[in-house]
C-alpha cells in the first residue's frame, strides 16, 4: 500500500508500504479483494484526517523551524513579526494561514486499487488564504510560497512512524468490520484459518 497527500500539486504524505497476509483461499476471492480495497481506502482517509488534526498544527509552532528544517528568516522579518504580534514564529504573521490550514480541508480523495495495482493514492488538499505568488523578485533571500509549501509538506521521522502505525491499525479495524458484515466471507475466513492451523 502507498499513500500520497497533496498540497499545491506537491506530494505530502510519505509513501507507506505494508504487506497484507491472508489465507490463500481469501487472496483469490474477488469479494475479499473488494473488502480489502474498501478497508484500505477508509484507512488512508482516516490517516489523512488524523494528519490534518494532529500534525499540521505543529507546523505553526515555535519548534517547527528545527523539526521541519524551515528556511532561515531574516532578522528584519522576525523583528516586524515580534513588533506586530509579540512573537516570531515561522509561517505565522497574522495567524490567518494557521487558522485556514488547521481548520479547513478543501478535499480528501482516495483512489487506486490495493488488490489490482498494489497501492492506493490519497490526496488531501489544503489552501493558502491568499493568492499564491511564485517568488519575490526583489529579494532572493525572501521566503517564497514554494518554501512555505515545502515547510508544510515536511514530515519528521516520528510523524512518518506514527502515520504508518495508524494506517496498519485503521486498515485492520476496517477490514474486520467489513468482514463481520459479510457472513459468507467471515465463514470462509474462519475455515481457511482453521485449515492452515
pLDDT value of position 23: 62
Whole-model pTM?
0.76
Give the pLDDT of residue 173.
93
Predicted local distance difference test score (pLDDT) of residue 10? 42
Taking residue 82's Cβ as centre, other Cβ atoms within 10 Å add up to: 12
Q: Is 24 exposed, middle or buried (0-12, 13-18, 19+ CB in 10 A)?
A: exposed
pLDDT digits (tens, 9 = 90+) for 35-56: 888 999 999 999 999 999 999 8
User: Residue 142: what pLDDT?
Assistant: 72
Give the pLDDT of residue 7. 42
pLDDT in tens, the chain (197 residues): 344 444 444 445 566 666 666 666 676 778 888 888 899 999 999 999 999 999 989 888 888 888 888 777 777 777 777 767 766 677 777 778 888 888 888 888 888 887 777 778 888 888 888 776 555 555 566 777 788 888 888 888 898 889 889 998 999 999 889 988 877 777 777 776 676 65
* pLDDT for the residue 14: 64
pLDDT score recorded for residue 9: 41
For residue 140, the model assigns a pLDDT of: 61
Domain ranges within the chain, ordered by starting residue: 6-196
Amino acid at each position: 500500500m502507498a499513500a500520497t497527500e497533496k498540497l499545491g500539486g506537491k506530494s505530502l504524505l510519505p509513501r507507506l508500504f505494508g504487506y497484507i497476509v491472508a489465507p490463500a483461499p481469501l487472496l483469490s476471492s474477488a469479494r475479499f479483494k473488494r473488502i480489502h480495497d474498501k478497508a484500505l481506502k477508509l484507512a488512508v482517509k482516516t490517516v489523512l484526517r488524523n494528519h490534518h488534526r494532529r500534525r499540521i498544527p505543529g507546523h505553526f509552532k515555535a519548534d517547527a523551524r528545527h523539526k521541519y528544517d524551515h528556511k532561515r528568516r531574516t532578522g528584519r522579518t522576525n523583528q516586524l513579526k515580534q513588533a506586530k504580534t509579540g512573537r516570531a514564529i515561522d509561517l505565522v504573521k497574522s495567524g490567518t494561514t494557521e487558522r485556514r490550514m488547521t481548520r479547513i480541508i478543501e478535499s480528501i480523495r482516495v483512489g487506486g486499487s490495493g488488490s489490482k495495482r498494489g497501492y492506493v493514492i490519497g490526496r488531501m488538499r489544503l489552501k493558502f488564504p491568499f493568492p499564491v505568488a511564485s517568488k519575490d523578485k526583489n529579494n532572493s533571500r525572501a521566503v517564497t510560497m514554494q518554501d512555505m509549501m515545502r515547510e508544510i509538506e515536511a514530515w519528521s521521522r516520528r510523524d512518518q512512524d506514527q502515520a504508518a502505525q495508524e494506517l496498519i491499525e485503521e486498515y485492520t479495524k476496517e477490514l474486520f468490520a467489513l468482514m463481520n458484515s459479510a457472513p459468507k466471507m467471515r465463514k470462509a475466513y474462519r475455515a481457511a484459518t482453521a485449515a492452515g492451523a
